[in-house]
Structure 1
Amino acid sequence: MENRLKGQVATARRSVLTEDVHERVKSLIMNGDLEPGSRVNIYAVARLLDVSQTPVREVLAALESEGLLTKEALRGYSVAPLLTRDQVADLYRLRLLLEPWAAGRAAETVTPETAGRLRAELASLPQAPPGTRYEDYHGIAAHDARFHDLVAELSGSPAVRDALRRTHAHLHLFRLEYEGRRSGEPTLAEHHRVGAAIADGDAAAAESAMREHLAAARDRFLRIGPPTP
């Protein structure tokens, strides 16, 4: 029993360390301290964070799967480039095809339990954060990802949910939106309109609210002026 408990404690500590390194490296990327296109050296990151190379290797692999890093043979990891205007527009074309349908379908099949899950998610972030660094806005970035994933889940379509997850949209878009500015208040207000329509079981209103939300978000990003190719 004692040996088993020791093993569990060691695993927990390792997990906490990896999570801490993950957030610290992600902060470097999201805040632009590691610039888009720059190489990410495992040894340099380990020295900077004063940790061993093992959790850094795990974290860089995880960040590649999240779309924040790219990896090339013989070159290692680099920070993924920011989205261009054309890429932002193309991303929203995809989302406008999938997510209004998902919201409408979620409303058609809503139950007291799923309505409660939506309300709980909306209540998890009462107001937008005031700062423009990742340490300030990571809460709304996480909420945005959870909210859109939840709507996709409630649509009952694993294919739609998986397609949206693969875009890594929230991280790339928040890198653009919060670079020296913030506009979280409209996002939260739009989420509440979508969530209320789904919870009410109004499929037409849910589909319309999601479409309006995505179009407004697209226009906000395009006004920011992401880099051209």
Structure 2
Amino acid sequence: MADDTAGQAPKIPRIRRTMLGDEVYESLKAMLMDNAFPPDSRLTTDFLAQELEVSRTPVRESLARLETEGLLVKRPMAGYSVAPPLDQRALGDLYTVRLALEPMAARLAAVHATDEQLAALAPTEPRAAPRDRSRYADYRSFVAHDALFHDGVAAAAGNELLRRSIQRLHSHLHTYRLWSHGTDQPIEALREHAKIAEALRARDPEAAEAAMRAHLEGALARLNTAFG
């Protein structure tokens, strides 16, 4: 009897812990994306666990995940602090790197993508873009779509080092922290994604590279409105 119970017991807490960890991560991520904490604010595990009414373990794990995504900064002997949103210079630096990497990825993808990869890049219709963008929760699905689309292009390029370099930028998180200031980012981005996907399906490297470059340059111009 004891042996049977011991064999079955781990299943429930393991599932529950995963669900709880994801919930804590998403809650903290939403607060950071909504700029709920001032830049450089110190976030402690004990404080957040108390506020969220959870144990320290999922909070600690979530903070580590958010640090790898660049939303938090880990300081020696001081825990985590909130990374400030990009300023205009940092935004320009980010897009300089994106413009060096992602048009190249699109060019390679037009040559190397499998039919399955191209099918997965079918763009979302513009009507799917969120109408309300006052909170991260209102446009989280669009941010996820944007990240998946760009990662899909990078994966289709067939160069894993290039893909990992693009992933490490976490650009979708950093740029959308500015988005709520007001741009037409979602509708325009979806239209531009459609042009990139069209060029990829046509197996046209030059057109795919140009479409990706135009998309990134347009995104940067729209995001610069956040700075007036």
Q: Distance in 1 between matches of 2:7 and 2:197?
A: 45
Q: In 2, are the aligned partners of 1:29 and 1:35 still within 8 Å (CA)?
A: no
- Per the TM alignment, residue 124 of structure 1 is displaced from its structure 2 partner at its CA by 8.6
The match for 1:41 is: 44
Q: Report the more deviating stretch, 106-115 or 61-70.
A: 106-115
Q: In 2, are the aligned partners of 1:104 and 1:204 still within 8 Å (CA)?
A: yes
Change (3 A) 1:152 1:86: same
Map 1:167-186; keep pairs closer than 5 Å: 167-179=169-181, 183-186=185-188
Change (3 A) 1:203 1:181: closer
Q: Could you report, residue by residue, the CA deviation over 1:106-151 in whole angstroms, capped at 9, with x for unpaired residues?
A: 11123322221112xx249851112221101111111111111111
| Structure 1: runs of 5+ lacking an equivalent | none
The match for 1:69 is: 72
SS in 1 for 2:40: coil
The match for 1:96 is: 99
Q: Distance in 1 between matches of 2:57 and 2:125?
A: 34
| Structure 2: runs of 5+ lacking an equivalent | none
SS in 2 for 1:70: strand
Q: Distance in 2 between matches of 1:43 and 1:179?
A: 32
AA in 2 matched with 1:90: D
The match for 2:190 is: 188
Map 1:1-229; keep pairs closer than 5 Å: 3-119=6-122, 122-123=123-124, 127-132=128-133, 133-179=135-181, 183-225=185-227
Q: Distance in 2 between matches of 1:202 and 1:41?
A: 51
Quote the sequence identity (%): 40
Change (3 A) 1:88 1:190: same
Q: Could you report, residue by residue, the CA deviation over 1:136-183 in whole angstroms, capped at 9, with x for unpaired residues?
A: 111111111111111111101111111111112110100011246663
Cα root mean square deviation, aligned = 1.8
Q: Report the more deviating stretch, 208-217 or 88-97.
A: 88-97
Q: Report the more deviating stretch, 1-10 or 146-155.
A: 1-10
Q: In 1, are the aligned partners of 2:126 and 2:191 still within 8 Å (CA)?
A: no
Q: Could you report, residue by residue, the CA deviation over 1:34-67 in whole angstroms, capped at 9, with x for unpaired residues?
A: 2222111211111111111111011101110111
Q: Distance in 2 between matches of 1:44 and 1:106?
A: 46
Q: In 2, are the aligned partners of 1:100 and 1:207 still within 8 Å (CA)?
A: yes
Q: Report the more deviating stretch, 64-73 or 195-204.
A: 195-204
- Per the TM alignment, residue 104 of structure 1 is displaced from its structure 2 partner at its CA by 1.2
Q: How many pairs align?
A: 224
